[in-house]
Amino acid sequence: MPGPELSSFMMTGASSSLLVLLLLNTLLLAESSAAVDPCCYFPCQHRGVCVRFGMDRYECDCTRTGYYGPNCTIPEFWTRFRETLRPTPGFYHYILTHFKWLWDIINNTFLRDMLMKIVLTVRANLIPSPPTYNSEYEYISWEAYSNLSYYTRILPPVPADCPTPMGVKGNKQLPDPQIIAEKFLLRKQFIPDPQGTNLMFAFFAQHFTHQFFKTYGRMGRGFTKGLGHGVDLSHVYGDTLDRQHALRLFKDGKLKYQVVNGEVYPPTVLQSPIHMNYPKNIPSEKRFAVGQEVFGLLPGLMMYATLWLREHNRVCDVLKQEHPTWNDEQLFQTTRLILIGETIKIVIEDYVQHLSGYFLKLKFDPEMLFGIQFQYSNRIAVEFNQLYHWHALMPDTFDIQDQKFSYESFIYNSSMLLDYGVETLVESFTNQHAGQIGGVKNIHSYILKVAVGVIEESRLLRLQPFNEYRKRFGLKPYGSFQELTGEEEMAAELEELYGDFEAMEFYPGLMIEKAQPNSIFGESIVEMGAPFSLKGLLSNPICSPIYWKPSTFGGKTGFDIVNTASLQKLVCLNVKKCPPNVAFHVPDFNLGKSHLRRKPSTEL
């Protein structure tokens, strides 16, 4: 046996070793903690920019935010004054959607223009211009600015080395996207939009946005095909010069067409040899050739493609009569500018007007912005692309006259346009309700996979949490899942899956958020989507002081076509018999109809 001295030495040595191990473990934990990027905590508020220094230090750049302090949380005097007086977005929405008698008066006075100018400037100022980040660069760089192959981003990606996928909050692993979609988005029973939105709106939304939402998966996520980042009508004319030339007639400025039963329709791929996405079983003579290669997917998209084709050729005839000396190229190019103007006019005064539910009559008048600083350029953001996935608009069946078409019989039905004609499709889509988008489980099972793909994409692109976007757009962050949903059962399920509300994802948050009263979706889509939309529309070059004048559009006649455009005119000037009630809402819609009122949150 060892002597007392040796035993004491061994005990002392063991204690020393234990202390050393404990010390090393503490140092390792400290080093591991220090290695966490402090920007993972999203410490910088009010648009402050987080910059990491070393391993564990950061600074918030509060320049021109109106705030100061370590985390940009202390308001400057005028900021405090403005914030004290500024009503909440909910208050604005209530005022704009109530008191119709008052708005009927305002809409006929100078106050309409004054309020419209405020709406445009306040909304547009929320979108950074020039662009800031993209999915490759989470900091300001020349590449992020100049590389048009990327979607831009409003917020940089979540740093790659954060403890959790959403920064530092929430579970270590995000829930399965399929589970999220099936639990919170999958339709059990069709819920019509309480604003009376119809399928004319639903198909217009798809048709219109495909000119600037062109995710290019072959290059990786976060990329867009083509260089267009705005309303350029590339979905009508093609996104490359080769595609455009294949679609042009090269006579009198017109596009190629075919005549069937006395009506003008798009040419086939045999007449315009371009790539179109059709299943192999669709013969070439039944494949329409148009600017956007995916429009063969739905007859509603091809209906709009036909209307714009007819409108282009109609305007060419008008310009040809006004300018008999103009050649084909000038007729084509000027007509394209006119149709761009028509599109923006329709989107603001018909499409956005309906979507907003406002009693303020929206107005397309670029001159309202001429006296202020405004940049006439636009970049499409990946967040805008995610936000605009409104597949809940689609019904259970598509009702054409007395026949109901399932998804299987409607999708890639290349003969439906010719079988029924534009007038019948317009009338049928006008009369059929579209679904409510937000706050309810309303995506049809056939297209639920699209929502799953959006969630997967957002994770690959490391989008910041939903609350960070709420704050970025001047909205109060939610404090709980129950505050988001307005009920308890779904909130509890979300909390179990995510662990913490600060880990709530962007797209699911938008779709699950409780809808505003009698509205198609919740507050966040309105307050985030409107700035993207209005900035993108009014920053078009034709809206600039240099372009916005009659000569750009071939003189007063062409300028008048732009300034008097409407959805109804687009349809009725391009069909033999104008269908009744052409609009983005079902005929004679009344918000008071009991069967269309928003269902209580307990029925989600």
Instruction: Copy the structure tokens of residue 240.
Output: 């490359």
On whether the CB atoms of residues 222 and 206 are closer than 8 A, the answer is no
Give the SS3 label for residue 260. Answer: strand
How far is residue 413's CA from residue 288's CA, in Å, rounded to a whole number?
11
Radius of gyration of the chain (CA): 28
- In this structure, the strands spanning 57-61 and 49-53 are antiparallel
On whether the CB atoms of residues 260 and 418 are closer than 8 A, the answer is yes
Burial class of residue 17, CB neighbours in 10 A (0-12, 13-18, 19+): exposed
Residue with tokens 């049928």: 428
How far is residue 459's CA from residue 455's CA, in Å, rounded to a whole number?
6
DSSP for residue 192: B
Mapped to the 3 state alphabet, what secondary structure does 152-166 carry?
Answer: EECCCCCCCCCCECC
Instruction: Copy the structure tokens of residue 91.
Output: 């208050």
Is 210 among the catalytic positions? yes
Give the SS3 label for residue 75. Answer: strand
Widest CA span in the chain = 119
Q: Which contacts qualify for 32-37: CB closer than 8 Å, 24 or more apart?
A: 35/161, 36/161, 36/162, 36/163, 36/168, 37/159, 37/161, 37/162
Burial class of residue 243, CB neighbours in 10 A (0-12, 13-18, 19+): buried
How far is residue 326's CA from residue 322's CA, in Å, rounded to a whole number?
9
How far is residue 387's CA from residue 153's CA, in Å, rounded to a whole number?
13
Q: Which one, of 525, 503, 578, 239, lies nearest residue 389 by Cα?
A: 525
Residue 240 amino acid letter: T
On whether the CB atoms of residues 315 and 336 are closer than 8 A, the answer is no
Is 388 among the catalytic positions? yes
Instruction: Copy the structure tokens of residue 470.
Output: 């709420």
98-132: buried (b, 16+ CB within 10 Å) or exposed (e) per residue?
Answer: eeeeebeebeeeeebeebbbebbbebbebbebebb
End-to-end CA distance of the chain: 76
List Cα–Cα distances, 315 to 252, 301, 323, 400, 404, in angstroms. 10, 21, 12, 30, 36
Half-sphere exposure of 258 (CA within 13 A, CB side): 16
Catalytic residue among 151, 257, 351, 388: 388
Q: To which H or E segment does residue 403 belong?
A: strand 403-405
Q: Which one, of 58, 59, 56, 57, lies nearest residue 34 by Cα?
A: 56
What φ, ψ does residue 564 adopt, rounded to 5°?
-115, 10
Task: Give the residue numbers annotated as catalytic, written as ranges.
Answer: 210, 388
